[in-house]
């Protein structure tokens, strides 16, 4: 928590959660929640996220992984933070490669292409360094993350996006699964098109220098918060290039060298 900032009360955390909950339930984006929890209060923002996560689990949702955001230095600078963030992936967020996302299923959708990792072992004990993380990863796969914001106009600060589950909406995994012994995440090159037009390019080096570094950060942060990463979970490691908006009828296609392709459409 930033120094000299008073602790955010439980009433404010509950009010922020209620605002985001209503936006998700009604399909009408809400005002930002930074008036309630501050722009950059990490503890308060994750407290809101954890409350909403607990509510979803109680309602029957299953946690299947995490998504890492703000892995780009430029985006961190834009939001005035010096660290990534993360959100929770639930079972109902997964869409099949080549499928269509129903209209209205994700509020204000934007897409980004990245490398996803599926864990073969827990990351709960030990140093949680790069060597351990690499051993724990079962395979890598090309992915499209569908970001969605319950905050109107994507008018977000760090606190807003963390509280809003790191602006998570959905995700799509490609078909080709590759072990890290046969794939170098740093050297991977990404191209993403929307309706046939190239809208985003990048490389693995754009994700904290190495997408595995992002998973190291996440593994340590998740353990600190009492919810360590577990075997079989999906980890979206962060965008390899700029995020782009999509509209009903859009078709998105991404290629990651070494991992192949992945695509998704949006129903009109």
Q: Write out pLDDT tens, residues 25-46.
A: 999 999 999 999 999 999 999 9
Q: DSSP string covering 7-72, please?
A: PPPHHHHHHHHHHHHHHHHHT--B--SHHHH-SS-HHHHHHHHHHHHHHHHHTT--EEEEEEE--S
Q: Write out pLDDT tens, residues 224-236.
A: 999 999 999 999 9
Predicted local confidence at residue 78, as pLDDT = 65
Strand 85-90 versus strand 244-245 pairing type = unpaired
User: What is the Cα–Cα distance from 151 to 107, expressed in whole angstroms?
Assistant: 9
How is residue 87 written in tokens? 């959100």
Q: Write out pLDDT tens, residues 70-93.
A: 997 767 776 677 789 999 999 999
pLDDT > 90: percent of the chain = 90
Best CA proximity match to 65, nearest among 208, 250, 245, 237: 237
Q: Is it the case that residue 186 has pLDDT exceeding 70?
A: yes
User: What is the Cα–Cα distance from 244 to 84, expressed in whole angstroms?
Assistant: 19
What are the backbone angles phi and psi of residue 179, rounded to the nearest 5°? -70, 155
Output the pTM of the full model: 0.94
Q: Write out pLDDT tens, residues 102-139.
A: 999 999 999 999 999 999 999 999 999 999 999 999 99
């Amino acid at each position: 928590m930033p120094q000299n900032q008073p602790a955010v009360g439980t009433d404010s955390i509950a009010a922020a959660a209620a605002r985001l909950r209503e936006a998700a339930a009604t399909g009408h984006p809400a005002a930002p929640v930074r008036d309630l929890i501050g722009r950059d209060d990490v503890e308060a923002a994750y407290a809101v996220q954890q409350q909403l996560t607990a509510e979803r689990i109680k309602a029957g949702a299953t946690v299947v992984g995490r998504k890492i955001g703000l892995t780009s230095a430029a985006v961190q600078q834009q939001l005035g933070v010096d660290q990534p963030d993360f959100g929770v992936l639930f079972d109902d967020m997964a869409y099949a490669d080549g499928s269509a996302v129903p209209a209205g299923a994700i509020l204000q959708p934007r897409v980004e292409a990245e490398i996803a990792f599926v864990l073969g072992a827990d990351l709960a004990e030990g140093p949680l360094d790069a060597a351990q993380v690499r051993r724990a990863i079962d395979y890598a796969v090309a992915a499209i993350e569908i970001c969605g914001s319950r905050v109107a106009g994507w008018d977000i600060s760090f606190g807003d996006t963390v509280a809003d589950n790191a602006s998570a909406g959905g995700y799509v995994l490609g078909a080709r699964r590759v072990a890290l012994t046969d794939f170098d995440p740093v050297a991977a090159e990404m191209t993403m098109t929307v309706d046939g037009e190239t809208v985003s390019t990048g490389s693995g080096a754009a994700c904290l220098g190495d997408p595995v570094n992002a998973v190291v950060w996440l593994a340590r942060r998740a353990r600190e918060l009492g919810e360590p990463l577990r075997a079989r979970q999906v980890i979206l490691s962060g965008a390899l290039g700029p995020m782009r908006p999509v509209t009903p009828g859009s078709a998105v296609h991404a290629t990651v060298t070494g991992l192949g392709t992945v695509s998704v459409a949006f129903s009109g």
